Amino acid sequence: MDGILNINKPAGKTSFGVVAIVKRLTGERRAGHAGTLDPDATGILPVCLGKATRIVEFLQDAHKVYRTDIELGITTDSYDGAGKIIARGDVSAIDKPVLEKALEAFRGTIQQTPPMHSALKHEGQPLYTLARAGITVERKNRPVTIHRLELLAWQPPLVTLEIECSKGTYIRSIANDLGEKLGCGAYMKNLIRTAYGNFNIQNSISMQQLEEAVSTGDWEKYLYPIDSVLGNLPSVTVDETGEEAIKVGSPPDIEEKIQETRYNDQTPQPFPPAGYIRAYNKDGLFLAILRYDPDENKWRPKKVFI
């Protein structure tokens, strides 16, 4: 069974644990998730089944939207509610204008230090393993992009934000850094991912819904086609000769079809000079992802799905 499930991950389960349950329920041995969520976080967790596991890398760059409650006046060692309280601060002098001004520093491309309680590895070990052992190591700052940050509510000491960001962004680091900027400390009280690429929380399914659908034998209705998440890649239609070439891993002859390439299947565009494109046969069947080879000026099959 090939496709993608838009799972609404419940609190208290790891992303890996959700994948294990999906495997058990569906009987599909090949399964993997995109975009890890912390155990206490909830929301969208795309789970790829069958051949769809091969496009996880293309999901990683998708924009993500989060909604979070940040509590001011408390600092934890993990930057979230699962950690130990290590400091308390006074929030009495903070009002909405002060908060809005502080938030300006978190829009656009910013430098962020990954938290110790994260899955990033240091010399082969996850940082959270070292953190649990009381070991702190130096982490390098790295750039992340905050495409949108909105203050949804301010009910002291709680700040509610909606954040659209690039991959690699740690929302709890934003919470901790906001607390430092305000001088009172802060931690991420809760987190929900409401959008991931073209998936949103409104069309997600709970684990209970999936379990019920499996019991009635119609769970496949929740599967999204593999190419449904690749709309940002240009597409091209190949003829029968091109289809046969793709099947055996050879580059198809598509130079004559340059003007057929489309972004998001809407606006005609010329071929990009490099990158990836989707290939379809004349019946609209998704065949492969092709990658441009500049040395030979050909589009070679990167991942074939037929």
pLDDT in tens, 85-109: 999 999 999 999 999 999 999 999 9
pLDDT of 139: 79
pLDDT in the model for residue 263: 41
Distance separating alpha carbons of residues 151 and 160, to the nearest angstrom: 6
Q: Which domain holds residue 118?
A: 64-196
pTM: 0.87
Active-site pick, 2, 38, 77, 95: 38
**Residue 134, domain CATH:** 3.30.2350.10
151, 178, 196 — which closes off a domain?
Answer: 196
Q: Are residues 223 and 240 in the same domain?
A: no
- Which regions in the chain score pLDDT beneath 50? 258-274
Catalytic site residue 253?
no
Which residues, listed in sequence order, are joined to residue 193 by a DSSP beta bridge?
Answer: 43, 66
Q: Which residues contact 203 (CB under 8 A, 6 or more apart)?
A: 6
Based on the fold, state whether residues 157 and 268 are members of the same structural domain: no
**pLDDT at residue 134, as a whole number:** 77
> Residues 243, 261: one domain?
yes
The CA distance from 152 to 67, in Å, is: 9
Could you tell me if 120 and 36 are in contact, meaning their C-beta atoms sit under 8 angstroms apart?
Answer: no
How many distinct structural domains can be found in the chain?
Answer: 3
259 lies in the same domain as 210: no
Q: Answer yes or no: do 144 and 255 share one domain.
A: no
Helix (H) or strand (E) holding 102: helix 96-103
- Are 137 and 218 within one domain? no
190 and 118 co-located in one domain: yes
Tally Cβ neighbours within 10 Å of residue 2: 16
Residues 190 and 222 in one domain: no
- CATH number reported for the structural domain that contains residue 238 in this entry: 2.30.130.10
Give the per-residue pLDDT at 113. Answer: 86
191 in the same domain as 69: yes
* pLDDT at 7 (0 to 100): 97
Whether residues 149 and 246 fall in one domain: no
Quick one: pLDDT at residue 110? Answer: 95
User: In angstroms, rounded to a whole number, what is the distance separating the alpha carbons of residues 112 and 97?
Assistant: 24
**Final residue of a domain: which of 187, 211, 228?**
228
Let me know whether 35 and 114 are in one domain: no
Domain shared by 69 and 174, yes or no: yes
Strand ranges in 201-297 using DSSP code E only, listed in sequence order: 223-224, 235-237, 262-263, 267-268, 276-280, 286-293
Asked if 228 and 4 count as a contact pair (C-beta separation under 8 A), the reply is yes
Last residue of a domain, one of 228, 244, 275: 228
